Structure 1
Amino acid sequence: MSGTAPKIPVSTLVVIHDPDLNVLLLERADRPGFWQSVTGSQDPGETLEQTAVREVMEETGLDARSHRLVDWNLSNIYEIYPIWRHRYAPGTTHNTEHVFGLTVTARSPVRLAPQEHLASMWLPWQEAAAKVFSPTNRHAIEMLPQRLGMRP
């Protein structure tokens, strides 16, 4: 791992959306064509909410504290893709992901972290769900109307 501490196999997934259920997606720099919501590993000593706030700021430039951030009390355990396992302690194969929703008032402009993402786009929730590569991300986006008390 060349001098960096292994990542903690606990992460947050933050579905950023506007009131009309348009969802912000980011294209991974290390895997062009792979689109996702904001996601990232917990740092030592952080609460899950602090991880979500930090990752949103790092990946989009948005301050989650000035919008409506909601812990969905939903977690997913998934197998870490083999191409990314080197980032974790030897033998770590699974990650626990905690889902949050972040409602922004409008399609906010974002400031990407170029080492992490190549592009961003806002899509209606159905299109966003179809575009993401991660099944847990897809499921979270598909839950969005229900989470907000709407009919899909």
Structure 2
Amino acid sequence: MKKVIIGLVILMSALIVGSTVLYQRSSQPYARARADTIAYVAERTSLSEVEEFYWYNGTETYLTITGQNEDGENRLYIVQQSGGQITSLSAENALSEQEAIRMTREAREPAKILNARIGMIDDRPIWEVSYRNENDRLGYYVIDLRTGEWIQTIDNI
């Protein structure tokens, strides 16, 4: 009986250590992209405080930092991953994440909102809100970040 308990303790310890290592390795690309983007934007702009980080994968990849500049203004910094071009926008002239989610709920009536990301489509800043519909199928609702105008819906994936 003692050998069985020792064996179970060793097995559980191995599972815990393995799970921890797997989690750290799987979250490492996100953490590195966030840190690299913050450093890149801070070097080239007056970013002083970071609030949120978004990673958007459309036809191109965009990494977005929201935060305050040295003057205390709330800003959005959208970085094109290939090329590093930074698009800076005033947060006061943009829809908030909560507004984008509210608009998606009103338009699509999803069963569950998964997340919202800032990106660019054809040099146009957008919110992409992903959700699960009533059939548990994946959907995306894309709206203009500045105006809230609907751009496209991708549903039943």
**TM bucket, shorter chain:** under 0.3
Relative to the length of structure 1, the TM-score reads 0.26
TM-score by length of 2: 0.25
Query: Greater strand percent: which structure?
Result: 2
Tell which structure's C-alpha radius of gyration is larger: 2
Larger helix proportion of the pair: 2
